[in-house]
Amino acid sequence: MSRTSLPRSRRIAPAVAVAAVAALTLAGCSSSSGGKKSDESAGNVSAGKATTPRMTIAMVTHAPSGDTFWDTIRKGAQAAAAKDNVRLIYSNDETAADQANLVQNAIDQKVDGIAVTLAKPEAMKAVVAKAEQAGIPVVGFNAGLSDWQKQGLLSFFGQDEAVSGQALGTKLNSTGVKHTLCVIQAQGDVNLEQRCAGVKKSFTGKTDILYVNGTDMPSVKSTITAKLTQDKTIDDVVTLGAPFALTAVQSVSDAGSKAKVATFDLNKDLISAIEKGTIQFAVDQQPYLQGYLAVDSLWLYKTNGNYSGGGEAPVLTGPAFVDKTNVAKVAEFAAKGTR
């Protein structure tokens, strides 16, 4: 009840805090290296703007929030939307049932097109059919290579996870490593399991799988360290996301191992690691391209009736390799967070 049940000094605390920050700023605590000042980004992709009537497109994904890979997809979609005079409604939910509800939500909003990922194809089947009945064109991207056609989607933009895994395995064969560790950051994710299965299929050496807790980096680090200590014959680590690759490099040094590190998917920091040579190479499925093409294809379909692949074949966005030989070309785009 009483408003003064706390010591009076506590009320002053926020004011002191603000003053302290201001003082620190004035005291010239600025950094002479790094930071935003030295890193001003270049302009974004822009290629004019369509004069077609404004339309609304919904993009519904199974992405977890706050993940750098999915952020790149969204940026691609936004770039295409800006260019095509499209209002983009982006939504995401990891749970299949909730993702299906989000598609229903888009149908209720009578959008002009839907771009959807089919990570759990069976769960999405009914609602995708509903959208099609309502006359809304639907394209697939990123996940759902084996199901997009069965569910009557117009086109599909993405990589074949198994194929990209195999491509990575083949590349490993040429580097002379004998025993690789494939690190999965979310146990039971179909896409991730397919990648490691692909590696196992084409890699001529031995492939082991390791599960780590992807939401807790310190535990990712020590679990990879533990595995490298347990099996000293492991001379290569494959991770399925850029942040995990950078952590794996630390594990390798902690374990006193000589293992090399390769990864799926890119981000800005990974690029500099490839430049420095601490990471061998990355398999890039070009998420920006996936998001961009998904939105752009719906616009093309609405304005000109075109659809890529003719409903017969998927449009593959990867696997593209980024290694020391071509990293310089990618670096400037990665700095903007678009590669």
Partner 1 sequence: MTQLTAPATGSPSPAPPVPQTDGRTSERPLPLRLLARPEVGVFLGAAAVYVFFLIAAPPVREGASMANILYSSSTIGIMALPVALLMIGGEFDLSAGVAVITSALTASMLSYQLTMNVWVGVTVALLVSLGVGFLNGWMVVKTGLPSFLVTLGSFLILQGVNLAVTKLVTGNVATDDISNMDGFGQAKKVFASSFEVGGVNVKITIIYWLVFAAIATWVLLRTKYGNWVFAVGGNKDSARAVGVPVAFTKISLFMLVGFGAWFIGMHQLFSFNTVQSGEGVGQELIYISAAVIGGCLLTGGAGSAIGPVFGAFMFGMVQQGIVYAGWNPDWFKAFLGVMLLGAVLINLWVQRTATRR
Residue numbers of the site for partner 1 (CB under 8 A)?
5-7, 14, 17, 20-21, 24-25, 29-39, 41, 64-68, 70-71, 187, 209-211, 213, 215-219, 221-223, 225-227, 229-231, 243, 246-247, 250, 254-256, 267-269, 272, 337
Name the residue among 92, 127, 190, 156 with its Cα closest to residue 290.
Answer: 156
**Residue 110 CB-density burial (10 A; 0-12 exposed, 13-18 middle, 19+ buried):** exposed
> Cβ 57 to partner 1, closest distance in Å?
20
Q: Position 335: which residue type?
A: A
> Cβ 298 to partner 1, closest distance in Å?
24
CA distance 30 to 20: 15
Q: List, in sequence order, every beta strand (DSSP E) within 240-294.
A: 260-264, 281-284
> Cβ 305 to partner 1, closest distance in Å?
35
| Tokens encoding 22 | 């201001």
CA distance 264 to 327: 15
What is the enclosing helix (H) or strand (E) of 200? helix 190-202
Instruction: Closer to partner 1 by CB, 148 or 292: give it.
Output: 292
CA distance 154 to 241: 29
Instruction: Closer to partner 1 by CB, 70 or 157: give it.
Output: 70
User: Are residues 210 and 232 in contact, defined by beta-carbon separation less than 8 angstroms?
Assistant: no
Instruction: Closer to partner 1 by CB, 182 or 293: give it.
Output: 182
> Cβ 16 to partner 1, closest distance in Å?
9
> Cβ 168 to partner 1, closest distance in Å?
19
Q: Is the peptide bond before 287 cis (omega within 30 degrees of 0)?
A: no
> Cβ 216 to partner 1, closest distance in Å?
6
